[in-house]
Structure 1
Amino acid sequence: MTEQELRRNRQACFEGLARVVAEPLHRYLLRRTNPDLVDDVLSDTMLVLWRRIDDVPGLGAGATPDPDDVLPWCYGVARGCLANARRADGRRLRLVERLIRTQQHPPPTTVEHSDLHAALDRLGELDREVVRLWAWEGLAPRQIAEATGLTSNAVNMRLHRVKKKLAAQLQLTRKNAGRPGHKPDEGRSSQ
């Protein structure tokens, strides 16, 4: 058999299987999960069936497979896909909860370094990324170059320029803030 004939045979086999199992699998999933999730899980199930078409028991070369032979195995696949979807949904919910908690209680480093974050926000996106990769991730310029698609020389020049720019912005911010620990008009008489 040629490769094209094998592909056509595989496709015909899957189409016959899909005609037999799609509706029962849809009903199976409707009884077990949220209606909004059914179509996604059914799609995942059909994808697994396509990938594992050679593993489906009772699926012969005949045009229409016997539902009694193929459905139990297909229900097992749908059950696994549903479990995967539920785990993914649980991970998403935990992530959302963690993000909400983080927003409610900002980490103390954010408050202590608000002037640094403000200065970083004034940089361009690529400059910000280069600085973060260097300072926060501890990457060397050649590693930053690999991550960003720049040359090592370009990264070195950007780092040099951006560090000077950040230092100037932070110095200006501190100068405008007055003496540390004092309000600008503190200690002056209003008369």
Structure 2
Amino acid sequence: MDAEGRRARFEALAPGLVEPLRRFLARRTDAATADDVLSETLLVCWRRLEDLPEDPLPWAYAVARHALANAERSARRQRRVAGKVAALDPPATTTGPVGGEADLPLEEALAALRAEDAELLRLWAWEQLGPGEIATVLGLTPNAVSIRLHRARQKLRDELRKIDAAAGHEGTRGRSRS
């Protein structure tokens, strides 16, 4: 394929990838990291244009997952270095964590799951991918995805029940009978 043909193919594919990838990344990280990872993902798509399958979105999700994992590893390394520097030369004043709204029950339930199960559920529910497409993203067989998805949904239901049960008991503590 000549340079003009490559460019035309990429320009035809990119608009269909950008928004789904942006939403995919926005659900997993902060805006700045999402933008960086989106750029990296599109660059990989451009470099490997000949490798893109007919339906490139699941393949692009897989690339974005790997790029996000690399970005997260890099951020962890930076935090470790900053922690070491802070331990050697602590700042004059420190502030505690900023209080925010309580986590939503779904976020709490997802956080209680294994990372692999939570990602599987996000791909299924948020990205609306089927088992075959999820298999492409995760490098698994569609059958394995179906089995894992069934189990992950059950684990999520169990976690949501635990959260609901805990929330229901909070209101009964400390009540006095008159």
Q: What TM-score do the two structures reach when normalised by structure 2?
A: 0.48
- Structure with the greater alpha carbon radius of gyration: 1
Q: What TM-score do the two structures reach when normalised by structure 1?
A: 0.45
More RCO (CA 8 Å, sep 6+): 2
